[in-house]
Structure 1
């Protein structure tokens, strides 16, 4: 009986540790150098507005966008959202120009002290940024 209790306790601890150590899923970009990030007003879900309003090629701005995107955490379950505010196009540099796709992402830019929301084009999963990343994005997107 004592052995059964020990085994059940051990299995219970493993399950608990597994649940606690599970990290939230985040957005991913290619493992390539980002050469440019372009922003446009969104025309709605599923497509990219190619009428660019801002373009960023400097290292600091690219770093800000990469960090905001790759640390945004996936939200569990269905989230009802309005049409996106912005389209974000992440472009990469490669040894063979033109070989890498552009990452298309919808963005809902949060207000002061709010989180922002990202969604891959042609997807329905929502990822939330931190409030700190929203503040940095707000400084770039005017």
Structure 2
């Protein structure tokens, strides 16, 4: 009985820590993307909203599979702000790299895979 209790407690503690950036992006009906002037300023009339399921899946998969990078960061102004469900992320995107940062945790960044970078670039272009 004690073993089952210990295992259950371990799973309840471990599973949320393994979820990385995926918290809050499960039930998404639309993705809002804004071009950014700076961390605090959105470029005027830049909002693009994606409501089709294929686009939403691309963003969800890319962001939920991003890999946390070690250390505290000091980043340049972001290219985009992405609202994905209840969560908001800053996004830096180039041809060969992609980095996201949870707006509520600006000390941590996550790197997108090369495949995710390609798919997000295709979506935004």
TM-score of the aligned structures, taking structure 2 as reference length? 0.74
- The counterpart of 1:130, out of the listed 104, 113, 124, is 113
Matched residue, 1:121:
103
Structure 1 residue ranges, 4+ long, deviating more than 3 angstroms after superposition: 46-52
> Match of 1:16?
none
Aligned length: 108
Question: 1:83 is matched with which residue?
Answer: 77
Given that residues 105 and 118 in structure 1 are in contact (C-alpha distance below 8 angstroms), is that contact kept between their aligned partners in structure 2?
yes
Q: List alignment gaps of at least 5 residues for structure 1.
A: 1-23, 92-101
1:74 and 2:68 aligned:
yes
Structure-2 residue corresponding to 1:53: 47
Aligned counterparts, 1:1-142, within 5 A: 26-30=20-24, 32-45=26-39, 51-91=45-85, 102-111=86-95, 114-123=96-105, 124-142=107-125
2:37 and 2:46 mapped to 1: Cα distance?
12
Q: Is the 8 A contact 1:48 1:104 kept in 2?
A: no
Report which of the two structures shows the higher radius of gyration computed on alpha carbons.
1
Extract unaligned runs of 5+ from structure 2. Answer: 1-17
Task: Give the superposition deviation at 1:75.
Answer: 0.3
Q: Root-mean-square deviation (CA), in Å?
A: 2.4
